[in-house]
Structures are given as structure tokens and as C-alpha cells.
Chain A
Amino acid sequence: MTFADLRTRPARPTVSPLPAARRARRGAQRGPNLTLGPTRTARALGLAALAVLAVIWLLPMAWAVLTAFKSEQDASDPVHWIWPQAGFTLDGFRTVIERGDLPLWMWNSFFVSAAVTLVTVAVSAAAGYAFSRTVFRGRRVLFALTIASVLVPPQMLIVPWFQQMLTLNLVDTYAAVILPQTVAPVMVFILKKHFDTIPRELEEAARLDGAGHARIFWSVMMPLSRPMLAAVSIFVFIGAWNNFLWPFVSTSDPALMTLPVGITAVKDAYGVNYAQTMASSVLAALPLVLVFVFFQRHIVKSVATTGLGGQ
């Protein structure tokens, strides 16, 4: 399967007045009749299997939410481990929010991830365009180097990166957290392959009108690449939002910590308060899960197009 397949295949019929009609058409296209067969037993078995898996997968989250709404005492009650004796309470959430560091770490995570996404996508798109559409000496060698570096696991670079940040006097700054994350050879590769699929005829008219590379890149290629850029951006953002090792190594000041680093630091500092721990977990999980609930289709598409790394 290639990217071209994924992109040229319309995800849904273009004209679709009603959701119900849309669903009916989709069902007719590739519904149970095609893969599962129309039999009732097969459908029932399939549903049962799905339900079992879904329960297994949802249980940990349900447990976290349940604990978060208990009092500390109920959370660590070994006998009445399901229903809280003292009823449900918001104390855990209140304590965590009043402590004030969680919103700060969320902001840090958002700022760092947005900056990483912006720089990565801008820089990779320009480089992808250069490798796809321009000729200059050393282009092939540089592109080969870029591809080869996909093999380098970022984890092996934490020691030299740290030394580098010491030398540049950047330890405990946003710049230290952000900069190393902006080098994404895979994204350059993906965007280069994407630009390769855009027909050259589209630029020729612009070229005849005297447009240079900058103009063509900005006014022809970018508008045509919006879905691809969105997919890549979402992917980079999720990666940065969840990145742990480098932010963990490069920050020791709690005021600069990102969400994944901060909430684990708190657990070590405050000891075992299960209700509070789960309350902060629920709050920390909320932003991206909510985004997913609202933008499910975009995120699914982003992972499907970008996740294979251009394979």
C-alpha cells in the first residue's frame, strides 16, 4: 500500500446530504455483507468479541476515574474497594488544582508541542520541496543522509544533547526542550514523497507567469498540501505532547516541566495519595482525549497516512 492509495481513495462520498443516508451508503459499500456475511450468529459473535475487548480496554480508565472521585480514605480501603463508604467527592481534584502546578505543566506541554510542531512542519515542508522539486549540487547526498538518519534512535543522543545544552548554556530553558525535537527526517521524507505526487503541470502555468520557487511553494504547493500538512502536524504534535525522555533529561526546574514529566515528579514528592494521583491523571489525560473525541476522523487519518513513515 502506498500513500497515493490512501490519498486518492475518497474517504467518504463527496455529496452526502444526511448522516443517515451516508451511513446507509457506506454500509452498502463495505458492510457486514462483504466481510462478515449476513448471518445473525456471526454478527452476534463479532459483537460479543468486540464488547469483551472494549470492556478490557475501558476498565483501567474507569478504575482511574472511579478512584479520582473517592476520598483518600476510601481509595485505600481494601475491603470496600468498589463503592466508596463516604460517597463521591471532588476533594482529589480540588487539592490537585489548588496546588497549581498542573495547569502550568499543561501550558508548558502545549507551548512546547505547538512550537515543535510549527518548526518541524515548516522546516520539513521546505526541505521536502527542495528535495522534490529543485536541483542543486549535493542534493542526492543530502537526501540520502536524511533517509539514513531515520535509523538513528533519538534515545542514543540524550548524552551529547545534554552536553550541547550545557555548552550553549541552555539547560532548563524551553529552547533546550524544543530544539532537538524539531529534527524529523521521517517527516521530510513523507513530505518529499507527497510533493512528488503533485503533477508538475500545475506549477508550469505559474512558472510561465514568472513565479519563482518561493511563489510556487507558497501559492501552489502549500494550498494543495493542506490535508497532508494537517496529518503531519497532528502526528508531530501528539508525539511531542507525549515525549518523555528528553524533556525529563533537559529540565529540572518544575516551572519548565511538561505534563508527562511533571505529574511523575509530583508522585515522587508527595508520596502515595491514590485519589489525588488519579485525579491528576484524569486531568492530564483529558485534553488530548477530548481533542480526539471531537476530531476523531482527522486523527485517525493522520495516523493512517503518517504512521507508516512513508513505507
Chain B
Amino acid sequence: MSTPLAAPDRAPAGDRATGPVATVRRLVPPGLLFALPFLVLFALFMVWPLVHGAWMSLTDTSLSAHDPSFVGLDNYAEALGDADMWQAVGNTVWFTAVSTVPLVAVALAMALLVHTGLPGQWVWRLAFFAPYLLPVGVIGLLWGWLYQPDLGLYNHLLQAAGLDGFAWLSDKDVALHAIVVATLWWTVGFNFLLFLAALQAVPDHLYEAAALDGAGAWRRLWHVTLPQLRRITGVVTVLQILASLKVFDQVYLLTKGGPDGATRPVVEYLYDVGFTGYRLGYASAISYVFFALVVLVSAVQFAAFRRREK
């Protein structure tokens, strides 16, 4: 492709082949030179940590000072029998399942409504997307306050409607779902914007043809808009599932994983084991269990996607 074109710039470099810069130019292909800064960072902060983490997972490395020793697969064996870890995996999977549906469906509904061109575009977009811009620290403080059992907004509203309030974040059966609601509020705007962009890319002539055929608003929605959005819905769902599997921030800030680990996701468990329990070796093993979970889910999604594309 660009091989013949690469010739002219190599010739002058050969002519004045003195000095260190010219030497580097002659020895290193220009393409590699461009990729080098990225590759260095990539090697240092992606490849090396992956390798080092894998090695640590085979040792009893600890934050408290003692020399680590090799323990083989002991950490993984321990993880398999660790009820806390399985609870964390269960919480993560449940959170992902429960959060993905509304995060895709509500985002789609918002985008469809805003795209109708009703007045107030600016306000709707601000209302739905602004929460996404809040730092998670604010999410923790704000939702902790909204969910406050005696003084929080939601229990006040429920009581005003004559209903009983909830112990939102300290009731085992409620806490994880309360976090799902906070997450929905916080991040739905992102998916909303993705859907909105996709809607704007639907060609007008499809609507015009449908209108000429006398299709009403509902039929245009069912037979034009939604089929056109099928692919983007798949992509958004895939991205959302992967994002939900990595949940940590808002859970840690709202409940610290409690009550009794009922909301603790895998990422928090690996943080707790490593940085509160000082067991970096075991935390590394859990990191790899987490990685395996992510790869597994990605593989399933990829297979499902390929089948549908065919």
C-alpha cells in the first residue's frame, strides 16, 4: 500500500546520515517511532502489570513486610472455596442483570421522546445527561442523603403519600436495588446520547416513504425507527453489561459493600482483600477470577452478536 510511497522520505535521511538523530532514523523505522511512546506506556502500565499480577497471584505477597514466597495455585484453590468471593460474584452478576435492562430501556425511551422534536430540547438533554457529569464522590454524598432513612427526600415523599419508608441502604433485600436506581439516574444519560445520535442517523426518506404509505406514528415507530435501531441497541447493551460488571465506585461510597456483604461486588472484594486485608497475592488471584468473568461474558456476547449479524 504505502510501500512505494515510503521511498522518497527515506532517501534524504540516508544522505545526511550523521549525528544521533539521523542514526536513530536510519535504524528505527519511522512507523515504530510514532508508535513508540504509546508502546512504552502500554508495556509499562498494561503488559507488565498483567504479568506481574499473574505472578503475584501465585505467591503470598503481602503489604506488611515479609518476603513473598511461591505458593503455586493455593490462592486460586482458596478463592474457589471462598464463600465471600462467591457472594461478591453473585452480587456482581445480579447487579449487572438488574441494571442493564433499565439502563438500556429507559435510555431508549428518553431518546425516542426527545427525538420527536418536541419543544425544550435543551432542557431535556440537560436533565437526562447532566447527572453523568457528576463526579462519583458527589453521587455517593447525594444519594446517601436522598436515601437517609429519617431525613432523606425519598422517605419523606413516601410518607407524604401515606406509605412506609425503607431503610434503603441498610436493608439486605433493598440495598442493591437502591444502588441500581442511583446508578440508573447517574449513568443513563450516556446511553441516551448514544441512542439520540443513532436516531439522527436514520435516513429521512424511510419516514417519508412510510408516511406516503399512510403509516401512523405507532407504525412508523415499530416498522421504521425500532428496526433501524436494532444494531445500536445490541452495541449499547454489550457496552452496558461490560460496564456494569466493573461496578465499584458508587457501591463502595454508598454502602461499603454492606450490610453483611449484601452489595459487595467483585472489584470491591479484591480491593478489600488487597488494601484492607493487606493480602496482595490473594487479591491478585481474585483479579484474575474477575478477568475470567469479564472475558467469559465478552465471549458469550461476541458469539451471540456474530450469530445475529449473519
Which residues of A does B touch, CB under 8 Å?
Answer: 1, 5-6, 9, 26-27, 29-37, 39, 42-43, 46-47, 49-50, 53-54, 57-61, 63-64, 67, 75-76, 78, 81, 109, 119, 122-124, 126-127, 129-131, 133-139, 142, 146, 149, 151-153, 155-164, 179-180, 182-183, 185, 188, 200, 203-204, 207-208, 210-214, 217, 238, 241-242, 244-245, 249, 259-264, 267, 274, 277-278, 280-281, 284-285, 288-289, 291-293, 296, 300, 303-305, 307-309, 311
- CB of B73 closer than 8 Å to a CB of A: no
Residues in chain A near residue B87, CB distance under 8 A:
none
Interface contact A260-B284, CB-CB below 8 Å: no
Q: Point out the residue from A1, A146, A159, A161 that lies within 8 Å of B45, measured CB to CB.
A: A161
Residues of B within 8 A of A137 (CB): 29
In the complex the two chains form, is A123's CB within 8 Å of B116's CB? no
A208 to B109, CA, bound (A): 53
Q: Are A29's CB and B204's CB within 8 A?
A: yes
Identify whether the interface residues of B are mostly helix, strand, loop, or mixed: helix
**Interface membership of B291, Cβ < 8 A:** yes
Cβ contacts A to B, 9 pairs, < 8 Å: A32-B116, A37-B220, A159-B284, A179-B44, A204-B5, A212-B9, A264-B141, A264-B253, A267-B141
Any A CB within 8 A of the CB of B80: no
Known interface pairs A285-B135, A309-B239. Does A36 touch B145 (Cβ–Cβ under 8 Å)? no
Q: How far is the CB of B5 from chain A (nearest CB, A)?
A: 6
Q: B41–A210 contact, CB under 8 A?
A: no
Q: How far is the CA of A160 from the CA of B47 in the complex (A)?
A: 11
Contacts of A126 in B (CB 8 A): 34-35, 37-38
Check if B39 sits within 8 Å of A127, measured CB to CB: yes
Which residues of chain B are near A60, meaning CB under 8 Å? 131, 142-143, 146, 153, 185
Separation in Å of the B161 CB from the closest CB of chain A? Answer: 14
Which residues on B are within 8 Å of A, measured CB to CB? 1-3, 5-6, 8-9, 12-13, 29-35, 37-39, 41-42, 44-46, 48-50, 52-53, 56, 61, 109-110, 112-120, 122-131, 133-138, 140-146, 148, 150-151, 153, 156, 185, 190, 193-194, 196-198, 200-201, 204, 207-208, 211, 216-217, 220-221, 225, 231-232, 235, 238-239, 245-246, 248-249, 253, 267, 270-271, 274-275, 280, 283-284, 287-288, 290-291, 294-295, 298
Instruction: Write out the residue numbers on chain B whose beta carbons fall within 8 Å of the beta carbon of A149.
Output: 42, 46
* Residue of B whose beta carbon sits closest to that of A59: B153
Closest 10 CB pairs of A and B: A134-B31, A304-B197, A260-B137, A127-B38, A160-B49, A37-B217, A130-B34, A130-B35, A136-B29, A212-B9
A-B contact count (CB 8 A): 340
Q: How far, in angstroms, from A19 to B156 measured CA to CA in the complex?
A: 44
Extra contacts, 18 of them, besides A50-B114, A76-B151 (Cβ < 8 A), are: A50-B120, A53-B110, A54-B123, A134-B31, A137-B29, A138-B32, A142-B39, A149-B46, A156-B290, A159-B274, A159-B284, A160-B52, A161-B45, A212-B30, A245-B267, A260-B138, A281-B138, A308-B194
In Å, the complex CA distance between A63 and B157 comes to: 12
Q: Is the beta-carbon distance between A139 and B201 smaller than 8 angstroms?
A: no
CB distance from A148 to the nearest CB of B (A): 10
